[in-house]
Structure 1
C-alpha cells in the first residue's frame, strides 16, 4: 500500500488515506494461557476527559513536531479530507509519525490515543481480546460518522462506544495489554490488500499477532497466534504509547523487530 504525500510549509507531509477494511475471519492457533499480573488500578470512569496533547521528538531532528503544527496543516483541508489518517514528514525525514482525527474533530498523534486505560483488572492476556469480541460491534466509520472516512476513538472511548472499526479495536486491546506489562503495539498496514490495523504482542521474546476485530465464538479464548504464521498481513507502521516505528524496506515481513524497522520518533505528552 502506498503511503505518500505532498510537502507542505515547514516540511510537513500530508499523506494518503489508510483505507477501511473488514475484520478478519481467519481462525487462530491455540497457545496455552499466558499470564501477567497487573499492578494498576482498574479505570472505569466513562466521564474522564483524557488529555491527548503532546509533541513528537523526531530521531535526527533537534526541533519537535507539535500537535498545533499538525492541526494547522490539517485545518487547511476539507472536513472529509481531514478525516483521513495522516503520515508526516519532518525536516526532510520521511514518515516520522502519524495523526488521526478523533471524536473531538481534531487531529492527534497516533500514540496519544493510547491513554493508559484499563477497564478492569485481569491476569489473563486473552481476557481483553474476549471482552472486545462480546462487547464491541464492528462498524465502518463512514457509516457511523456521516460519511467521514476515518475517525479514531481513544482506548477509553473505544471501551464505552458500542461500535468501532479496526483502529478502535486495536487501540483498546493494545493499551489494555500494555497495562498488563506486555510490549504491545498497534500495527498499521493491509490485510489481504485492504487497509487494516491489528495488534502485535511481544511476550517472552516471541511475537504474537492479535486480530482485535475477531468476533469468533469458540469455547477456548486462550489464543495467541504466532505472528510468523499469520498470513495476509502487510505491516507498514507500528506504534505504542511512546514510540512510532516505520519499516525500512518495501519487502513484506512477518517480523516486527529487527534491522528492517527504525524507531522514527518519541511521543511526549503534555
Structure 2
C-alpha cells in the first residue's frame, strides 16, 4: 500500500509518500524520530573525496509556466513541514501544473531537485557500457536508509557520494549508474515507480534505439551489456516518473507501460544548474 500526503501551499502543492525502502521496494512505516546527529556522524566518517560539495543549486523551468520553481522556494516550503514529513521524496505541482518535478533530502539535510543529484560524475573512464553496473555490483552494498541514517526514511546521495559511500538504497544505486552512463554518451534516466507494487527506482538506458532496463541494485556481475534485459520484456516494473540531468518526465495517465518514450510521456520541466 502507498500513502500520499497532500499539503496545500500558497503557490504550489506537494505530495509526500510515507515510504521507506525494503528489499528492493518500499513498505509503509509510521513516522520515526529524526536524529540529525546520526547523519552528521556518518558524514564525519567520509573521506575527503566524499565530502566534496557538488553544486546542486539550480532552478526548474516548468512547461506551461513563465515562473521558475526556485531552490529558495523549495527550501521555504519544506521548512513549513514537520521533520518526519520532509524526510520523504516530494513530487511537486507548480502553478496548477501537476507532477512538475520531484525533490528529496540529501546528505546535507536539505531538499534538492531530483535532477541535481546527477552531478556529472564518473569514477573512471571506460568504453564498455557494462562496466558501471558491474562496478556497482562489486563495490556498493545495499542498505535501507532508515538503518543507515538513524531513522531517516529517505536520504539521497549524489552520484559522487554514491560511489564513495559504501552503502545505499535503490535511488543511490540508480543515480550513480545513470550519471555514469550519461558520461559515456548513453541516454540514461532514473526511473521512479513500483516493482511488484512496492516503490522502487531503477535505470532505463536507450542504446541503438532500444530501451534497456537496468536494475541498479542487482549484484549479478554481468560482463556484457547485451545481457541486460530489454525494458519491454522486464516484468513487474511500473514506471511513474523519470529524470536525467536536465529533464523530468511524467506519464499522461496512470496506465502501466513498458515503453519509456512516446506520446504517453510528457516532459514536465527542465533543470538549469546555476
Q: Aligned partners of 2:221 and 2:272: how far apart in 1? A: 39
Structure 2 residue aligned with 1:29 = none
2:249 corresponds to which of 240, 245, 252: 245
Equivalent of 2:209, from 205, 208, 212? 205
Misfit runs of 4+, over 4 Å: 1-4
In structure 1, the residue matched to 2:148 is 144
1:21–1:166 CA contact under 8 A, matched in 2:
no
How far apart are 1:5 and its partner, in Å?
A: 2.4
CA distance in 1, matches of 2:158, 2:87: 15
Structure 1 position 78, deviation (Å): 2.1
Residue 224 of structure 1: CA displacement? 1.9
Residue in 2 that maps onto 1:6 = 7
Q: Report the equivalent of 1:226.
A: 230
Equivalence map 1:126-165=2 (5 Å): 126-165=130-169
Would you say 1:258 and 2:262 are equivalent positions?
yes
CA contact (8 A) 1:101 1:108 kept: yes
TM (norm. structure 1) is 0.88
Q: Tell me, what secondary structure is at the counterpart of 1:12?
A: strand
Cα distance, 1:4 vs structure 2 = 6.3
Q: Does 1:179 align with 2:183?
A: yes
Q: Deviations along 1:26-81, whole A, 9 cap, x unmatched? A: xxxxxxxxxxxxxxxxxx95443211011100000000000111111111222222
Cross-structure match for 2:56? 52
Provide the aligned length of Structure 1 versus Structure 2.
250
- Deviation for aligned residue 1:105: 0.2
> Corresponding residue for 1:109?
113
Whole-angstrom CA distance in 1 between matches of 2:177 and 2:21? 19
Give how far 1:217 is off: 4.5
Structure 1 range deviating more: 67-76 or 197-206 = 67-76
Deviations for 1:83-116, whole angstroms, at most 9, x for unmatched residues?
Answer: 1000000000001000000000000000000000
Q: Do the aligned partners of 1:153 and 1:168 also contact (CA within 8 Å) in 2?
A: yes
Distance across 2 between alignment mates of 1:217 and 1:183: 22
Unaligned 5+ residue runs, structure 2? 26-47
Tell me the TM-score normalized by structure 2.
Answer: 0.87
CA contact (8 A) 2:134 2:221 kept: no
SS at match of 1:20: strand
SS of the equivalent of 1:79 reads: coil
Q: Classify 1:142/1:19 alpha carbon distance in 2 versus 1 (closer, same or farther; 3 Å).
A: closer
| Secondary structure, aligned partner of 2:138 | helix
Structure having the higher helix fraction is: 2
Per the alignment, residue 92 of structure 2 pairs with 88
Using a 3 Å threshold, how does the CA distance of structure 1 residues 4 and 264 change in structure 2: closer, same or farther?
A: farther
Q: Unpaired runs of 5+ in structure 1?
A: 25-43
